[in-house]
Amino acid sequence: MCDRRLQACGHRCVARCHSERMHSVFPCPQPCQRLYSPCGHDCQKATCGEECGLCMIKMDNVQLPCGHLKDGVPCWQVQDVSKIKCDILVEKRVPDCGHFVKTQCSQDVVSETFSCSAPCGAYLPCGHICPGSCGRCCPKDAIWSTAKHQKCAIVCGRRFGTCNHTCPRASHGGDECGPCPLACGVRGFN
């Protein structure tokens, strides 16, 4: 057996006698006994020959800068709590449109990438309320008069004058429904 110690960890080499080159790349198979810095947790790797990497021990009741507590945070993230995202739902006012939305505490409603999720609320030409959201219909760089509202998805439902069927098309404003597309029991007179 090789009687030398491994340079990386100091454990005795357990391989059979081998060359110097082989000795420098031989991974240690013993359990890792290193401690993470600065937390002092034991390395969780099964063998000493692996890189320890980041401390993944889960921490509970981590105090975030916003005042909320978070559970299950990997230890390495606790070293800088300002980078941990708070996922508690809170109500925030969006300054661009004035809507109040429920969003994650860490979500910045002022950022350029935020899109207001409140219902649009505008009335479409068909008389129904727009199904889109405020942020989708009126992006931050647009003004309300240039809003691009979503198409109405509500079925027209008006009765045809010649049969008992209702119009199955999506809402089409004040336009005519046209002829009934369904098979009707009522036939025209000759």
pLDDT per residue rounded down to tens, the chain (190 residues): 887 887 767 788 877 777 777 777 777 888 888 888 888 898 888 888 778 889 999 999 999 999 999 999 999 999 999 999 999 999 999 988 889 999 999 999 988 888 889 998 888 877 788 888 888 888 766 555 567 888 888 888 888 877 888 888 887 766 788 888 888 765 544 3
Does the CA dihedral 110-116-121-122 come out positive or negative?
A: positive
Burial 140-178 (b: 16+ CB within 10 A, else e): eeeeeeebebeebeeebeeebeeeebebeeebeeeeebe
Identify whether the C-beta of residue 17 lies closer than 8 Å to the C-beta of residue 3. no
- Calpha distance 76→53 (Å, rounded): 10
The pLDDT value recorded for residue 135 is 86
- Calpha distance 69→46 (Å, rounded): 31
**183 burial via Cβ count (<10 Å: 0-12, 13-18, 19+):** exposed
Q: pTM value?
A: 0.57
